[in-house]
Structure 1
Amino acid sequence: MIEATAVGWRVGGAQILDDVSLSVGAGELLGIIGPNGAGKSSLVNILSGVQRPTTGRISLGDKDVTRTHATKRARMGLARSFQTSALFDGLTAGENVRLAIQASGERPFSPFRRAEGDEGDRVDELLERVRMPGRAATLARDLSHGDRRKLELAMALASEPTVLLLDEPMAGVSAEDVDGLTDIIGEVRDSGVAVAMVEHHMHVVLGLADRVAVLHHGQVLATGSPDDVTSDERVQQAYLGEAL
């Protein structure tokens, strides 16, 4: 569903990514791990179109989208989250989701247009999907950090994506919320969406991912099943540590 082929990204004299190739299929979750500075978020930015690679190719489905803007990629079925929350804090949870629904629709987008037709039902459906029933009227600024992350997922899912990129969805989330978010992401994968997830919570990655890609110094050090990757001596030495 999405593929990076020999992707490189250079900023000034710094080589951030170098010859990175990976792919994610429908109904598959690829965990992307690596130490800080390995290039994980840079890769997500390039996959989503926020940045353009210096070299290499990005494919979405059967289309080359290497030079395609992020907005058009979103229209083609790609959605993503960011490391830091990106919500309209002065609006309610329901209004945030409604705007995401409207933005992904065919009608001209207007933040002033009220919910029409089945939009209200769709808002409730999405909030229920992310374990937030009855929270539509709560201001985004009043939500816990875990619920803010769930709301971002609801907004990403509003476009009914075929590919979902998640950049550290568990960052800053309390331990009691991690399991709930893990279940939601697993259900999204099981619905047939291709999911690529950058995450530092190793127990989440190893328990959820079908395959794991390890980035180190901007290159793919290893790719394979969670068991294969964690038993790879190069990965242990570069990132995971001998204890694991």
Structure 2
Amino acid sequence: MIGAEGVGWRVGGAQILDDVSLDVAPGELVGIIGPNGAGKSSLVNILSGVTRPSTGRVTLDGEDVSRASATRRSRMGLARSFQTSALFDGLTAGENVRLAVQGSGASPITAFRRAGTVGRDRIEDLLERVTMPGSADVLAGDLSHGGRRKLELAMALASEPRALLLDEPMAGVSAEDVDGLTGIIGAVRDSGVAVAMVEHHMHVVLGLADRVAVLHHGSMLAVGTPDEVTSDDRVQQAYLGEAL
């Protein structure tokens, strides 16, 4: 559904990514791990269209989208979240979701015309999907950090994406919220969405991912099942540690 083929990204004299290839199939979750500075978020930015690769190409459902904008990729069925929460804190959770639904797959003019046409049932369905029933009238700014992460997922799912990129969705949330978010993301994958997730919570990645991709110094060190990756000597030395 979404893939990188020989992707490289250079900034000035620095090679951030070098010949990175990765694919994610429908209904598959690929966890992307690696030390800080390995290039994980840079890869997500390239896959989503925020950044254009210096070399290689990005595909979405078999189509080359390397030069396509993030907006174009969104309309083709790609959604993503960011490391830092990006919500309208002065609006309610329901209003945030309403805006996401209005704008999904639409031009600015179409989105404007949709204003007020998004039904309450649609908003409630999306909030229930991320285990936030009855929270439509709660201000986004009053939500816990875990609640904010769930709301971001609801907004990402508003476009009914076929591929979903998640950049550290568990960052800063409580252990209880980690478990809840893990269940939500697993359900999204099980619904047939292709999911690529950057995450530092190793128990989440190893328990949830169908495959794990390990980036190191901007290159793909290993890709395989959780068992294959954790038993790889190169991965242990570079990231996981000899004890594991």
For residue 94 of structure 2, what is the aligned residue in structure 1? 94
Q: Check whether the contact 1:101–1:119 (CA below 8 A) recurs between aligned residues.
A: no
Q: Which runs of 4+ in 1 moved over 4 A?
A: none
For residue 103 of structure 2, what is the aligned residue in structure 1? 103
2:75 is equivalent to residue 75 of structure 1:
yes
Q: Which amino acid aligns with 1:79?
A: A
Shift of 1:119: 2.4
Q: Tell me, in whole angstroms, the C-alpha distance in 2 between the residues paired with 1:37 and 1:111.
A: 43
Shift of 1:6: 0.2
Normalization by structure 2: what TM-score? 0.97
2:162 is equivalent to residue 162 of structure 1:
yes
Q: Which amino acid aligns with 1:28?
A: E
Q: Check whether the contact 1:99–1:111 (CA below 8 A) recurs between aligned residues.
A: no
For residue 138 of structure 2, what is the aligned residue in structure 1? 138
The 5 A counterparts of 1:200-219 are: 200-219=200-219
2:233 is equivalent to residue 233 of structure 1:
yes
Q: Which amino acid aligns with 1:64?
A: D
Shift of 1:164: 0.1
Q: Tell me, in whole angstroms, the C-alpha distance in 2 between the residues paired with 1:105 and 1:72.
A: 9
Unpaired segments ≥5 residues, structure 1? none
Shift of 1:148: 0.2
Secondary structure in 1 aligned to 2:83? coil
Summarize the Cα distance change of 1:63–1:90 in structure 2 as closer, same or farther, 3 Å threshold: same
Q: Tell me, in whole angstroms, the C-alpha distance in 2 between the residues paired with 1:180 and 1:225.
A: 23
Q: Tell me, in whole angstroms, the C-alpha distance in 1 between the residues paired with 2:111 and 2:159.
A: 13
Q: Check whether the contact 1:5–1:22 (CA below 8 A) recurs between aligned residues.
A: yes
The 5 A counterparts of 1:190-201 are: 190-201=190-201
Q: Tell me, in whole angstroms, the C-alpha distance in 2 between the residues paired with 1:153 and 1:209.
A: 18
Shift of 1:108: 1.2
For residue 3 of structure 1, what is the aligned residue in structure 2? 3
Q: Check whether the contact 1:103–1:109 (CA below 8 A) recurs between aligned residues.
A: yes
Secondary structure in 2 aligned to 1:124? helix
The share of aligned pairs that are identical, in percent, is 78
Shift of 1:196: 0.1
Q: Tell me, in whole angstroms, the C-alpha distance in 2 between the residues paired with 1:47 and 1:109.
A: 25
After superposition, the C-alpha distances for 1:114-155 in whole angstroms (9 at most, x for unaligned) are 2x2x62111000000000000000000000000000000000
Q: Which amino acid aligns with 1:41?
A: S
For residue 187 of structure 1, what is the aligned residue in structure 2? 187
Shift of 1:109: 1.6
Shift of 1:113: 2.5
For residue 224 of structure 1, what is the aligned residue in structure 2? 224
Q: Check whether the contact 1:89–1:141 (CA below 8 A) recurs between aligned residues.
A: yes
Q: Tell me, in whole angstroms, the C-alpha distance in 2 between the residues paired with 1:94 and 1:84.
A: 20
Unpaired segments ≥5 residues, structure 2? none
Q: Tell me, in whole angstroms, the C-alpha distance in 1 between the residues paired with 2:82 and 2:99.
A: 18
CA RMSD of the aligned region, Å? 1.2
Q: Tell me, in whole angstroms, the C-alpha distance in 1 between the residues paired with 2:105 and 2:126.
A: 15
Shift of 1:202: 0.0
For residue 15 of structure 1, what is the aligned residue in structure 2? 15
Q: Check whether the contact 2:75–2:105 (CA below 8 A) recurs between aligned residues.
A: no
Q: Tell me, in whole angstroms, the C-alpha distance in 2 between the residues paired with 1:206 and 1:184.
A: 16
Q: Check whether the contact 1:77–1:159 (CA below 8 A) recurs between aligned residues.
A: yes
Q: Which amino acid aligns with 1:125?
A: D
Shift of 1:184: 0.2
Shift of 1:167: 0.1
2:120 is equivalent to residue 120 of structure 1:
yes
Secondary structure in 2 aligned to 1:99? helix
Shift of 1:112: 9.2
Q: Check whether the contact 2:74–2:105 (CA below 8 A) recurs between aligned residues.
A: no
Shift of 1:203: 0.0
Secondary structure in 2 aligned to 1:172? coil
